[in-house]
Structure 1
Amino acid sequence: MTQTALTAARRPERQLRAERLIGPAAVQQAQALRYRVFSAEFNASLSGADKGLDTDDFDAWCLHIGVRDLATGELVATTRLLDHRAAGHMGRFYSEGEFHLHGLSHLQGPILEIGRTCVAAEYRNGGTIAVLWSELAEVLNEGNYSYLMGCASICMQDGGLQAEAIMRRLRERYLCNQNLRAEPRNPLPALDVPANLIAEMPPLLKAYMRLGAKICGEPCWDREFQVADVFILLKRAELCPRYARHFKAAV
């Protein structure tokens, strides 16, 4: 057995638990994790940065969920959820700040928006995402939401080469604007990218596609976060059966 295998064998299996982050202290932990991930990896310009937090006005209206490492007590993953009722109080969904969502009012059934998803780098694997997904599943089922929507990000620090290479694949396999068409308020600049350029799809975006989500148009350039945001829509009734177990959902 190699030294690497021995080290892996001795490493205790992590005990992760999904939870709903209730109360100011718990939400602040989520905001601190978001700040660490977004500022370090994207060099994002964040509100609340002087306090080491990522904050905005939507936080107060969202349900925040997360994953905690029971051995350390550390919050290692988080996302926030905004439903149609809370969006009504805010005057819009968060995504509408980046996209004109044509057809949104015609979607049949309640809608849940997911956003600000992040995972600590050392926990970025399928197991952590599955634990987070399990709590998301509980929320979806409790609210009987018909649609899950939101944005998944692609880094733009290379000037957009990765984003364009990934979008080529997404347009071929996952583009669908039958239910909703997302028109970016700030489209990506046109790039002449070699046809043979290949880029790895970000884990979160890949996870959405595996679940059965579709992209609804071209991405929006979010200059504050230095990312290209792709709008995704997942119809709960069309959840991919192979991955439905992650959502504890009957399809």
Structure 2
Amino acid sequence: MTQIARIKEPRPERRLQAERLIGGQALREAQALRYAVFSQEFDARLQGAELGLDRDTYDSHCSHIGVRDLSSGQLVATTRLLDHQAADGLGGFYSEEEFSLHGLKGLQGPILEIGRTCVHPAYRNGGTIAVLWSELAEVLNQGEYRYLMGCASISMQDGGIQAEAIMQRLRERYLCNEHLRAEPRHPLPPLDLPHNVIAELPPLLKAYMRLGAKVCGEPCWDREFQVADVFILLKRDDLCPRYARHFKAAV
């Protein structure tokens, strides 16, 4: 019997670098990555789908950052940032379309909203997130923002079982209304779920919790993206020391 040797090909070297995404071409790269991730994983109904893009009116008012694999030139992670001044010009933050944010006007200090964060499936590891966080840290420090806020999504394609199981964990450990209370405009449908049902936190939500972020209320049902959005708030002073090295001057 002939023996066939299976030789495992070495993984191509990855050289990841964070960058500010400036200009129309860079923005379209981010929108294309967002479309690929959101449409495939959530079957989301996206503006710009006919062009293979995820785009909305907020994009032109946000700054965009990303992570690029220099070995291939491919953009592999991205997020967008909206500060309080730009939000005032728009009439509010993107999160306010989904939540009534009680206490928002009482927060002392500049605020930065993070959103539309996504990572290419082949690059979902701590290294990619760390590179993205390092660039986010630069933005936070340059703007001297005191609060970082935004949403993290949980798929609703299973009818909400995963979302409710995750919320049971979040309510016990991470729920905090001390600074702000987020009231969802479209709450999730009620679901009676046993407490022994366990679900893994999505990587982005887990990353926020590790940074020291708190959940400020119940999730909102985003029907277009078919996800449950959890509103998170990170106070700069409460940043987890373990991850402070990514946010050099943040503590």
Q: Give the TM interval when normalised to the shorter protein.
A: over 0.9
Aligned to 2:162: 162
5+ residue gaps, structure 1: none
Query: Are 2:218 and 1:218 aligned?
Result: yes
CA distance in 1, matches of 2:103, 2:90: 19
CA distance in 2, matches of 1:148, 1:7: 43
The range that moved more, 239-248 or 194-203, is 239-248
Query: Are 2:14 and 1:14 aligned?
Result: yes
Secondary structure of 2:199's counterpart equals coil
Secondary structure of 2:172's counterpart equals helix
**Code of the aligned partner of 1:136:** L
Aligned to 2:64: 64
Q: How does 1:83-122 map to 2 (within 5 A)?
A: 83-122=83-122
CA distance in 2, matches of 1:13, 1:73: 12
Aligned to 2:35: 35
Aligned to 1:55: 55
Aligned to 2:124: 124
Aligned to 1:234: 234
The alpha carbon displacement at 1:123 in A equals: 0.5
Deviations 1:171-200 (A, max 9, x none): 000000010000000000000112210000
CA distance in 2, matches of 1:113, 1:192: 33
5+ residue gaps, structure 2: none
The alpha carbon displacement at 1:250 in A equals: 4.4
CA distance in 2, matches of 1:232, 1:250: 18
Q: Retained in 1: the 8 A contact 2:48–2:54?
A: yes
| TM-score when normalising by structure 2 | 0.96
| TM-score when normalising by structure 1 | 0.96
Aligned to 1:172: 172
CA distance in 2, matches of 1:250, 1:149: 15
Structure 1: which 4+ aligned runs deviate by more than 2 Å?
10-13, 246-250
What is the percent sequence identity of the aligned residues? 77
CA distance in 2, matches of 1:210, 1:194: 26
**Code of the aligned partner of 1:210:** R
The RMSD of aligned alpha carbons is: 1.3
CA distance in 2, matches of 1:151, 1:250: 21
CA distance in 2, matches of 1:22, 1:127: 23
Cα 1:250/1:140, change in 2 over 3 Å = closer
**Code of the aligned partner of 1:13:** E
Secondary structure of 2:92's counterpart equals coil
Deviations 1:27-46 (A, max 9, x none): 00000000000000000000
CA distance in 1, matches of 2:250, 2:149: 19
Deviations 1:208-242 (A, max 9, x none): 00000000000000000000000000001110001
CA distance in 2, matches of 1:249, 1:230: 27
Secondary structure of 1:28's counterpart equals helix
**Code of the aligned partner of 1:148:** L
Q: Retained in 1: the 8 A contact 2:19–2:67?
A: yes
